[in-house]
A and B are shown apart, each in its own frame.
Chain A
Amino acid sequence: MKKFLGFVKKEFLHIFRDTRTLVILFGMPVAQILIFGYVINTDIKNAGIAFLDMSHDEISQKLSDKIISSGFFVKTEDLASYDDIDRTLKRGKTKAVVVFENNFGKKLTGEGRASVSIIADGSEPNTATLITNYTTAIINDFNMQVAAPAAGPAARVIPEVRMFYNPALKSYYMFVPGVITLILILICALMTSVTITREKEFGTMEALLVSPLKPLHIILGKVTPYFILSFINVLVILALSWIVFKIPIRGSLPLLLAATMLYIAMSLTLGILISTVSSSMQQAIFISLIGLMLPTILLSGFIIPIENMPVAYQWFSSIIPPRYFIVIIKNIMIKGAGFSYIWKETLVLTAMTVFFVIVSVRNFKTRLE
């Protein structure tokens, strides 16, 4: 045990003496949380909107006011003719134009129907979709309050939408769990694979292997500091997301932390596996970054819903460990779910960990032979 602790201490010294390692360990997570949370924001706030009002009546004025007062939009200008639409969209500040037809108010009160066109800048599809959805929702609301009573009662189904768990549909509810998932696998797998291949490259691994330390102790000694530091990292990220973004942890914190420990352990074993197949630090970095970062961002369900992917990609996504952890962490953090809702994912992660350990041990033995 004393031998082992001495070895762990040495590993901590390596980490704390290397500024680059420290930056990756602690700087990257904080930066990523803030970047993903603040900059990559899919919510609409103060999007530029212009109006082309051919009617200029009380009702069209009321509707435009309602759109602007919603807080999602800022009025950029009032247009005079259809020709102005192209011009204002091209400038870029205006993301959409709302057009009221001639005699809008009169038609609405008289005939019971009038039309509004929403012309959005399709070169930014996401924003365009969001803006049209938001405006349509505002117009529907307006229908209920103003137009419908005026036009007389009519039987219709009125959908009342409520968003559970994230009523305001804040996108950082999606990003924070995603970033935790991404950061943990990157840091754990990258750091472990690099630190082990470094010993191989520098020849210190040979010296350790001929020492009375057992290979298992060497590997455990190398990953223990990263386990501890990654766990501290998670606490920092959770605290940060709570303080900065006010994201609550609805489920049980101990369950969340236990699941996170499992995920860290899985990522560390993956890092060990990478180190057994790479002969240099560059190779380990390459495999960890390219092999883990892109699939985690694109195929884990972090940003793109898995159900929307082609079947082949869905299959591929099922072998990506982060996919399961994202479900676990979202369920616990955002939905407040208990273990009965995440046991399947937990089981998959456990199985993956065991698999990585078995393959690593086999690879390691072959290398020793």
Chain B
Amino acid sequence: MRKKVIEVRNLVKKFGNFTANDNLNFDVYEGEIFGFLGSNGAGKTTAIRILSGLSAPTSGQALVAGFKAGTQAEQIKKNIGYMCQKFSLYEDLTIKENITLYGGIYGLTGVQITERRKKLLEKLNFCEYENKLIASLPLGLRQKLSFLIAMLHEPGIIFLDEPTGGVDPITRRQFWEMIYETAALGITIFVTTHYMDEAEYCDRVSIMNEGRIEALDTPGNLKQKYNAGSIEEVFIKIARPAKNTIAV
């Protein structure tokens, strides 16, 4: 039995009368690539905010790295990495300065920061450019750098919120190679994406609709269950009923 790193039980999040997360139940295992899909407004962001310690559940429980969302947010934050939808490095700082800043925020020592910076830049073959401003880097490289910096403090779980938005197909593929390498080290990847081909790369996929998780399984099983040729078809089959109700 693999170790559970995220355990969500009967999780509900309400904003006034609106229920953003309606009784979510799922587990994520160590070293797993967990795809968290859903159309815009399905409640993904709300769930990620709870799991990353930014917001507290209205009821139910979520354990992340063994800590309770809501009451132990500080411990959660130390044990996760996060790379957000929008770009999260400072454009007017150099690569080195960004690394020093984030390393410092996560409490790494000067020696640790230097060591990990060297390792990180070697990985990207980018050692001689450490004094370049982020603004001068192409988007794809920035995203990779952003991912590696989010992992600088060696978290057990990393949340990637649409990490490949606006990136070219080649960089996207390279990015996913990095995700695979990371997962192989036993780090859990919790990823949201709107690219359905990326969903196929995940170990398991959950699809949210109107605040509920409608489906959760391996991409293969989902396709079989919904009698679909691709995850995209599965997604459309699940998300469509919602659209019809709105139209009526």
Contact = CB atoms under 8 A, between A and B. Distances in A.
Contact of B101 (A7, A203, A206, A368): A7
A6 B88 contact: no
A150 B104 CA distance: 88
Contact of B54 (A13, A202, A209, A212): A209
22 contacts: A3-B104, A3-B105, A3-B107, A6-B104, A7-B105, A10-B97, A10-B101, A13-B93, A14-B90, A202-B86, A202-B88, A203-B87, A204-B88, A209-B54, A210-B80, A210-B82, A210-B159, A211-B77, A211-B105, A212-B77, A368-B54, A368-B55
A18 interface: yes
Contacts of B83: 207
B93 A203 contact: no
Contact of B90 (A6, A204, A213): A204
Nearest to A15: B92
B121 interface: no
Nearest to B52: A210
Nearest to B159: A210
B157 to A, nearest CB: 12
Contacts of A212: 74, 77-78, 105-107
A58 interface: no
A91 interface: no
A252 B90 CA distance: 43
A10 B89 CA distance: 12
Interface of B: 15, 52-56, 74, 77-78, 80, 82-93, 97, 100-102, 104-107, 150, 159
A222 to B, nearest CB: 13
A156 interface: no
Residue from the set B85, B104, B105, B106 with the largest chain A CB neighbour count within 10 Å: B105
The 10 closest A-B pairs by CB, nearest first: A203-B86, A6-B104, A207-B88, A210-B82, A206-B84, A17-B92, A210-B52, A211-B105, A212-B77, A10-B101
Contacts of B150: 207
A369 interface: yes
A6 B103 CA distance: 9
Contacts of A369: 15, 55-56
A6 B105 CA distance: 7
A6 B55 CA distance: 26
B45 to A, nearest CB: 10
Given A6-B104, A202-B86, A203-B84, A210 B97 contact: no
Given A203-B84, A211-B77, 5 more contacts: A2-B107, A10-B93, A210-B52, A210-B80, A212-B77
Contacts of B91: 202
A194 to B, nearest CB: 14
Contacts of B54: 209-210, 368
A368 B101 CA distance: 23
A368 B52 CA distance: 12
Interface of A: 2-3, 6-7, 10, 13-14, 17-18, 202-204, 206-213, 368-369
Contacts of A206: 82, 84-86, 88
Contacts of B80: 210
Nearest to A211: B105
A162 B52 CA distance: 70
Given A209-B54, A368-B54, A369-B55, A6 B92 contact: no
B92 A13 contact: yes
Contacts of B87: 202-203
Given A212-B74, A369-B55, A6 B101 contact: yes
Select the residue from A2, A6, A209, A210 with max chain B CB neighbours within 10 A: A210
B225 to A, nearest CB: 34
Contacts of A7: 101, 104-105
Contacts of B89: 204
Nearest to A210: B82
A202 B82 CA distance: 15
A10 B92 CA distance: 10
A368 B49 CA distance: 9
Nearest to B79: A212
B88 A203 contact: yes
Nearest to B98: A10
A2 B55 contact: no
Nearest to A369: B55
Nearest to B133: A17
Of the listed residues A10, A13, A207, the one surrounded by the most CB atoms of chain B closer than 10 A to its CB is: A207
Contacts of B93: 10, 13-14, 17
B100 A210 contact: no
Contacts of B53: 210
A207 to B, nearest CB: 4
Nearest to B110: A2
Contacts of B56: 369
A369 B82 CA distance: 18
B105 A208 contact: yes
Contacts of A204: 88-90
A206 B83 CA distance: 9
Nearest to A204: B88
Nearest to B149: A207
Nearest to B161: A206
A18 to B, nearest CB: 7
Contacts of B78: 212
Nearest to A218: B105
Nearest to A13: B93
Nearest to B85: A203
Contacts of A202: 86-88, 90-91
Contacts of B74: 212
A82 to B, nearest CB: 69
